[in-house]
Amino acid sequence: MHVVFIEPAFPHNQSEFVRGLHAVGARVTAIGEAPARALPAAIRGWLHGYEQISTVASRQAVLEAVQKIQEREPVDRLEATVEAHVMVAAHVREACGIPGTSTKTAFLCRDKPAMKQVLREADVPCAASIGASSAEDVRAFVEEHGYPVILKPRDAAGAAGTYRANDADELEGVVAEIGVDRGMPTAVEEFIEGHEAFYDTLCIDGHVVHDFVSHYYPNVLEAMRARWISPQIVVTNRIDDASDYQEVKAMGKRVIEVLGIGTSATHMEWFYGPKGLKFSEIGCRPPGVSVWDLYGAGNDLDLYVEWAKAIVHGETDVRASRAYSTGMIALRPDGDGRITGYEGLELVQETFAEWVIDAHLPPPGSRTAPVSGGYMANAWVRMRHPDYDELRRMLDQVGETVKVGVGA
């Protein structure tokens, strides 16, 4: 099978998808922005061909590259695993007659108000929401549903550009900040109180063949706003045993069915609180921050290869072991500047060495990244343990023990 893959080198784990495709026997032609000679040697070795374009976010540029490739040989699949590339890939698939995720499905997985409207009509529990293009639309929504209210771009991923307004003064500030008073298309939602988590799947022809549940501690919006927090993402290995997750699985399968997701990875955010289980949003792509690495480390599988098997062969032949719960904790400096060193690392290494998967500890002298850079922007540690509660305790202790020093 000949698979065209959009952007093989950025973000850093994109190369893993290329590796997976090559490992299962696909001929992989990549489309990227860097010159071929600038690609790492390993990536070049996995590629059958390569097309450099100005930007992979341009539908026209990707279309012309795919048409050029098709002039040389048939293309069986066109794949993209980054949120910003999914819609471009869907349009180009349809223009070039390549099977895969449709533009309708890609749109519904990208446009939050349209997504929720379709799912509400299918009786999937969602927060109240609208698509707004004026301050008057926002105020009318708040008049009906009250505070707090969440505002974000219609096509946002995760917490990017997301704001919470608790009263009229905050609302007017947010309206001005994101530009909805100037016509910027905005998703407006009621705030759902509760714990935030996500349900990820790998689907073949709409059927879930691998699934995983991960939890945020604390919820994303809080984690991305407060520097003092060392946020965690923790993957449970109790997904098949705990009855609590059966409702999550059922909702996820219903969402996949309604949105017409076929052979694809998915990433679905959800909340559970006083109003019960509520769907938040879904992407027809893998999760960010290399969470698939955690799934592999906890389940004795290579999910990049499993994904490639689904794309190339239409089947997988490995089951998740659920041997370990896995997690990561972000370790943030208490200010911006340059890293001066780390306190408490030796104690953590002595205490938890056998449970550490890996870590990223920028050396002294490295510049810090802002909190808005996300979970992996600065230092982090990833761990695993057979018991979910013990893993939580260990991650908490790492966050309390390790301090990142920073200076001017």
- Which residues of the chain form CATH 3.40.50.20? 2-100
Mean of pLDDT values over 356-371: 95
Q: Residue 151, SS3?
A: strand
Mean of pLDDT values over 164-175: 91
pLDDT on residue 179: 86
pLDDT on residue 185: 87
Structure confidence at residue 243 as a pLDDT band (50, 70, 90): confident
- Which residues of the chain form CATH 3.30.470.20? 195-407
Tell me, what amino acid is at 34? A
pLDDT on residue 157: 58
Residue 283 in contact with residue 271, Cβ under 8 Å? no
How many whole angstroms separate alpha carbon 216 and alpha carbon 374?
13
pLDDT for residue 156 is more than 80: no
Mean of pLDDT values over 217-227: 89
Tell me, what amino acid is at 268? M
Instruction: Report the CATH number of the 128-190 domain.
Output: 3.30.1490.20
More confident residue, 132 or 14: 14
Q: What is the pLDDT of residues 177-219, one digit of tens each?
A: 888 888 888 889 999 899 999 999 999 999 999 999 999 999 9
Give the residue carrying structure tokens 């991923």.
157
What percent of the chain clears pLDDT 90, i.e. is strictly above it?
A: 83
pLDDT on residue 180: 85
pLDDT on residue 160: 60
pLDDT on residue 273: 94
- Which residues of the chain form CATH 3.30.1490.20? 128-190
What is the 8-class DSSP label of residue 268?
E
Lowest mean per-residue pLDDT among 81-85, 133-137, 201-205, 262-266: 133-137
Helix H or strand E encompassing 93: helix 83-96
pLDDT for residue 16 is more than 70: yes
Q: Each residue of 50-77: b (16+ CB within 10 Å) or e?
A: bbebeebbeeebbbebbeebeeeeebbb
Mean pLDDT of the chain: 94
pLDDT on residue 133: 85
Mean of pLDDT values over 4-22: 96
Nearest CA among 405, 385, 408 for reference residue 397:
385
Residue 376: partners with Cβ closer than 8 Å, 6 or more residues away: 289, 290, 328, 330, 360
pLDDT on residue 192: 87
Instruction: Report the CATH number of the 2-100 domain.
Output: 3.40.50.20
How many whole angstroms separate alpha carbon 345 and alpha carbon 367?
19
More confident residue, 315 or 135: 315
pLDDT on residue 177: 86
Residue 77 in contact with residue 101, Cβ under 8 Å? no
pLDDT for residue 159 is more than 60: no
How many whole angstroms separate alpha carbon 393 and alpha carbon 301?
25
Lowest mean per-residue pLDDT among 10-19, 142-151, 159-168, 280-289: 159-168
| Burial class of 354 by CB neighbour count within 10 A (0 to 12, 13 to 18, 19+) | exposed
Tokens of 355: 């449970």
pLDDT on residue 79: 98
Pairing state between β 325-331 and 264-273: unpaired
Mean of pLDDT values over 156-183: 82
Helix H or strand E encompassing 4: strand 2-6
CATH architecture for residues 195-407: 2-Layer Sandwich (3.30)
